[in-house]
């Protein structure tokens, strides 16, 4: 019964190919005969991959009967692939996962152990044939000891061929035992004969050859591994960005000339789009270069009008949410964090530009970092509240609260440097929790009053966050006498009573330690959770 959903998923995924039906799915898992091999020969690669993906999930569920059948199918597929028959490589990888998972759980029977040994023999024979084919095709001559010592070989004795040879010259367990016995025999001969001397020479030569080949293989692999590539902008792009950055930071010149602002903004957008649209870089490299470019453009220090103009043009180009996150972190976030009073309407509108298409990026890269920042003040709290009320859909407030609570509970303490620059101060953890910050509490209180639907996991994180804050001895006393913290607990318990009931005991322990004017009201609300309605 536990496997039925997975079988149904496999059947539905293959329905478009009209190959299997629901009634026939149990027959797929019958290990007898060659049914599994026929499937691999009949199904297209995409259908095979979906089938094996579902079987991997089935094995992880642990249904013994179906797990054993899936293991049989996986072993047969791997034998088929090792025997040079046509098989999909992705399906074979998934089959190996099934075999490995069942082996780790110790669920293989004696017959399956024999299958494993047979499979290993087939795979090694196939690998040996490949190696010998490579050596013959390259007219490979086994290198002598002197040639190996000089780093050379026969006519085809390059490092790649040495590596192929080494794979089959490394001693197996049986060979190692034979060599040990040979060594013992040699040691027992107190009067070395000519035969004993030849045996000693062969043992020493084999050891030297294996050691030399092993060293050459390690050197070759070290040379083949590509060096770590430093990700940076081209020098020409850096020069252009530095020039534009100086112009963007000159707010007086922009205020005196609208045309200059338009030209600088246009040039900045062009550089950003060229960096994002580069086809020769991976997404991770592009993100790194985008962050470097935003730093050179000094977007965190430019005027609000210039940032709004650049952002609005980029939003219209429909870029990815990953790039939107990088841009928010490098531009809007530092500007809001630097504010000492209410942010301008233009900067608020710049942040709200992301709300329609990139609400997730707005939460993860701007709002959560704002709420959990050590230096959050009234200006940052007010900005976060305005953005949350206007730019974040009600159903996404749960994600915002959940991420904030989890981050605060996980990072209760972290080191910061002192203003004096003393290196020793970096090693001293400084306690901080956003429940002790009035601006952060104001943001959370405003979100809860919106009565957004919250998941049970969010309530769990809230309680865990409260408990983590109280474990901090330095901040616990301040937390207990905080009127805003008591109000926050009261609001959570009052508006989400059904979900908080599961945490009544933990919340009662928190409420008993409150000492502010809201302590009694909060405690009464908590005790109602324990009273059946």
305 and 436 co-located in one domain: no
Helix 235-249, helix 258-276: angle, nearest 10: 150
Task: Considering only residues 96 and 124, tell me which one the structure prediction assigns the higher pLDDT.
Answer: 96
Boundary-marking domain end, from 58, 88, 105: 105
- Separation between Cα atoms, residue 128 and residue 123, nearest integer Å: 9
Residue 464, in any domain of the structure: yes
Residue 45, in any domain of the structure: yes
- Separation between Cα atoms, residue 514 and residue 478, nearest integer Å: 10
CATH number of 266's domain = 1.25.40.480
pLDDT score for 424:
37
Whether 225 has a pLDDT exceeding 50, the answer reads no
Whether 145 has a pLDDT exceeding 70, the answer reads no
Q: Which two tokens stand for residue 218?
A: 């390690």
Count structural domains, the chain.
Answer: 3
Residue 444, in any domain of the structure: yes
Report H helices in 4-155: 4-14, 25-28, 35-42, 45-61, 64-82, 89-105, 110-137, 145-149
360 and 453 co-located in one domain: no
On whether the CB atoms of residues 87 and 40 are closer than 8 A, the answer is yes
pLDDT score for 397:
93
DSSP 236: H
399 and 475 co-located in one domain: yes
507 and 460 co-located in one domain: yes
Banded pLDDT at 334 (limits 50, 70, 90): very high
pLDDT score for 341:
92
What are the tens digits of pLDDT across the range 414-468? 444 333 344 333 333 334 567 888 999 999 999 999 988 999 999 988 888 888 7
| Strand intervals (E) in 291-441 | 413-415, 429-431
Residue 386, in any domain of the structure: no
Residue 222, in any domain of the structure: no
For the chain, give the mean pLDDT: 72
pLDDT score for 282:
85
Residue 437, in any domain of the structure: yes
360 and 403 co-located in one domain: no
What are the tens digits of pLDDT across the range 374-392? 889 999 999 999 999 998 9
What are the tens digits of pLDDT across the range 477-530? 888 889 999 999 999 999 999 999 999 999 999 999 999 999 999 999 999 988
436 and 357 co-located in one domain: no
Average pLDDT for 131-147: 51
Q: What angle do CA 522, 526, 529 make, to 5 degrees?
A: 150
Task: Considering only residues 113 and 52, tell me which one the structure prediction assigns the higher pLDDT.
Answer: 52
Whether 187 has a pLDDT exceeding 50, the answer reads no
**What are the beta bridge partners of residue 415?**
429
Residue 349, in any domain of the structure: yes
Q: Give percent above pLDDT 70 in the chain.
A: 58
CA distance readout (Å), 210 to 128, 159, 207? 18, 14, 5
What are the tens digits of pLDDT across the range 338-354? 999 999 999 999 999 99
**What are the beta bridge partners of residue 431?**
413
343 and 399 co-located in one domain: no
Closest by alpha carbon to 468, among 429, 413, 523? 413
Whether 25 has a pLDDT exceeding 70, the answer reads no
406 and 466 co-located in one domain: yes
pLDDT score for 63:
61
Banded pLDDT at 152 (limits 50, 70, 90): very low
| Strand intervals (E) in 342-477 | 413-415, 429-431
Banded pLDDT at 202 (limits 50, 70, 90): low
Whether 205 has a pLDDT exceeding 70, the answer reads no
Average pLDDT for 239-255: 79
Residue 184, in any domain of the structure: no
Whether 178 has a pLDDT exceeding 90, the answer reads no
357 and 436 co-located in one domain: no
Instruction: Give this prediction's pTM.
Output: 0.55
Whether 182 has a pLDDT exceeding 50, the answer reads no
Average pLDDT for 192-206: 61
Torsion, Cα 316 317 323 329, to 10 degrees, reads -30
Banded pLDDT at 159 (limits 50, 70, 90): low
249 and 314 co-located in one domain: yes
What are the tens digits of pLDDT across the range 50-95? 777 777 777 776 666 677 777 878 887 777 665 444 567 777 777 8
- Separation between Cα atoms, residue 298 and residue 247, nearest integer Å: 10
277 and 325 co-located in one domain: yes
Domain that holds residue 352: 244-364
């Amino acid at each position: 019964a536990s496997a039925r959903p997975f079988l149904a998923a496999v059947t539905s995924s293959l329905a478009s190919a009209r190959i299997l039906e629901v009634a026939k799915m149990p027959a797929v898992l019958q290990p007898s005969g060659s049914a599994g091999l026929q499937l691999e020969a009949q199904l297209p690669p995409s259908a095979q991959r979906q089938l094996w993906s579902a079987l991997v999930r089935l094995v992880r569920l642990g249904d013994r009967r179906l797990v054993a059948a899936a293991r049989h199918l996986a072993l047969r597929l791997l034998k088929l692939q090792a025997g040079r028959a046509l098989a999909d490589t992705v399906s074979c990888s998934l089959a190996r996962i099934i075999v490995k998972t069942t082996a780790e759980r110790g669920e293989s029977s004696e017959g399956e152990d024999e299958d494993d040994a047979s499979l290993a023999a087939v795979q090694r024979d196939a690998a040996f044939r490949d190696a010998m084919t490579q050596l013959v095709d390259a007219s490979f001559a086994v290198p002598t000891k002197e040639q190996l010592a000089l780093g050379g070989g026969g006519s085809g004795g390059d490092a790649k061929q040495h590596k192929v040879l080494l794979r089959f010259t490394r001693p197996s367990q049986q060979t190692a035992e034979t060599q040990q016995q040979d060594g013992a025999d040699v040691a027992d001969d107190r009067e070395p004969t000519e035969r004993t001397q030849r045996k000693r020479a062969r043992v020493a030569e084999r050891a030297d050859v294996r050691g030399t080949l092993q060293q050459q293989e390690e050197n070759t692999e070290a040379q083949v591994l590509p060096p770590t590539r430093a990700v940076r902008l081209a020098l020409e792009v850096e020069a252009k960005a530095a020039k534009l950055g100086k112009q963007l930071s000159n707010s007086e010149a922009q205020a005196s000339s609208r045309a200059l602002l338009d030209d600088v903004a246009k040039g900045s957008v062009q550089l950003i789009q060229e960096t994002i649209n580069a086809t020769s870089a991976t997404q991770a490299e592009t993100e790194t270069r985008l962050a470097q470019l935003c730093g050179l453009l000094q977007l965190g220090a430019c005027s609000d009008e210039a940032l709004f103009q650049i952002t609005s043009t980029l939003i219209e180009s429909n870029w990815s949410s990953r790039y939107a996150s990088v841009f928010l972190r490098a531009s809007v976030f530092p500007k809001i964090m630097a504010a000492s009073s209410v942010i301008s309407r233009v900067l608020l509108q710049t942040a709200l530009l992301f709300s329609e298409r990139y609400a997730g990026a707005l939460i993860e890269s701007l709002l959560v970092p704002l709420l959990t920042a050590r230096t959050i003040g009234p200006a940052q709290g007010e900005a976060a509240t305005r953005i949350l009320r206007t730019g974040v859909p009600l159903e996404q407030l749960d994600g915002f609260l959940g991420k904030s609570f989890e981050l605060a509970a996980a990072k209760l303490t972290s080191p910061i440097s002192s203003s004096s620059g003393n290196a020793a101060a970096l090693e001293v953890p400084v306690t901080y929790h956003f429940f002790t910050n009035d601006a952060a509490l104001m943001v959370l209180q405003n979100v809860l009053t919106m009565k957004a639907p919250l998941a049970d996991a969010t309530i769990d994180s809230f309680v865990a966050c409260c408990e983590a804050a109280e474990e901090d001895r330095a901040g616990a006393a301040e937390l207990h006498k905080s009127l805003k913290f008591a109000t926050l607990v009261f609001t959570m318990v009052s508006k989400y009573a059904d979900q908080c009931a599961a945490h009544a005991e933990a919340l009662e322990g928190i409420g008993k330690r409150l000492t502010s004017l809201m302590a009694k009201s909060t405690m009464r609300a908590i005790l109602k959770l324990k009273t059946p309605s």
